[in-house]
Amino acid sequence: MTLSHDLAGEGPSTVVLLHSGVCDRRMWDGQFAALADAGQRVVRCDLRGFGDTPVDAPHTHAEDVRALLDALGVERAALVGSSFGGKVALELAVLHPERVSALALLCPAVPGHEPSAELEAFDEREDALLDAGEIAAAVDLNVDFWLGPEADATTRERVREMQRRAFDVQLAAPEEFDPVGAGVGPADLARIDVPVLVVSGAHDVGDFQEIAKRLAAALPDAQHLHLDWAGHLPALERPEETAGLLVEFLTEAGGEGAATAAGVRAS
């Protein structure tokens, strides 16, 4: 099965946008056209179990993205991943390094992370609500937990709609169609040698701020940009600023290497 996706732009290089675990490909509305206008061929997709892509078989998300690249005739692409999408991007870069030219990771998750007490408590609360059939309450929990102070009412409603869609699709799928791990561990990440931008947000959960620091330190060609205004989903919280950050990084990564984007602090 080919992941549901949209295409824009006709540039010589391709960038693939991978959404967070509370969203789907619609989260990139604020960056999709901007990247195409900047000369990129842009692909945004719904991972299996999100948006318009059903759960119809056991699957590994990174291999689903590789199969999408194959279907589109893309030999090598830059990957932009938000949160869970960042984890998928990292796994693909480890499993198929020849397919990845650069990584831009917005508040990424990583394989093998041991969650803090705060994140464990969130997971337990979400599971309890879902087990009780309180889907709307689980959606509200996610909206409140993941969005930072820059998110307005319209943005919160968009995330609410995307998260509800994900729950509806995933809860309807049989357990035998659950995702299969990619087999990538923390030690494998050091093999990634393409330009990498790792973004963190000052209003995000502490786990992801620490992940960003560790990841940037572990990768040989990485920079860490800390956004003092951002929560966990900067692409939705300040769409235009995030689009500019990505355009600059991808332009530089396609040339002499990654450079610090204007208006943010490198660490």
CATH number of domain containing 238? 3.40.50.1820
Q: What is the DSSP letter of 204?
A: S
Choose the weakest-confidence range: 2-11, 31-40, 180-189, 251-260.
251-260
Phi, psi of 5, deg, nearest 5? -155, 165
Flag whether 149 is in a domain.
Answer: no
Identify which of 154, 156, 234 has the alpha carbon closest to the alpha carbon of residue 202. Answer: 234
Q: Which pLDDT band, with edges at 50, 70 and 90, does 258 fall under?
A: very low
- CA–CA dist 135, 120 (Å, integer): 19
Whether the Cβ atoms of residue 61 and residue 91 lie closer than 8 Å to each other: yes
Whether the Cβ atoms of residue 205 and residue 118 lie closer than 8 Å to each other: yes
Flag whether 159 is in a domain.
Answer: no
Residue 58 identity: P
- CA–CA dist 91, 208 (Å, integer): 17
The total domain count for the chain is 1
- CA–CA dist 92, 102 (Å, integer): 11
pLDDT at 39: 94
Q: Does residue 182 or residue 159 have the better pLDDT?
A: 159
Flag whether 144 is in a domain.
Answer: no
pLDDT at 255: 54
Sheet arrangement for strand 5-8: 5-8, 40-45, 13-18, 77-82, 100-106, 196-201, 222-227, 265-266
Q: Which domain holds residue 68?
A: 5-115+176-266
Q: Is the pLDDT of residue 60 over 60?
A: yes
Flag whether 18 is in a domain.
Answer: yes
pLDDT at 213: 97
Flag whether 194 is in a domain.
Answer: yes
Flag whether 128 is in a domain.
Answer: no
In the chain, what's the furthest Cα-to-Cα distance? 53
Residue owning tokens 């332009």? 251
Flag whether 150 is in a domain.
Answer: no
Per DSSP, helices labelled H in 9-133 are 29-37, 61-72, 84-95, 117-131
Flag whether 239 is in a domain.
Answer: yes
Whether the Cβ atoms of residue 146 and residue 22 lie closer than 8 Å to each other: yes
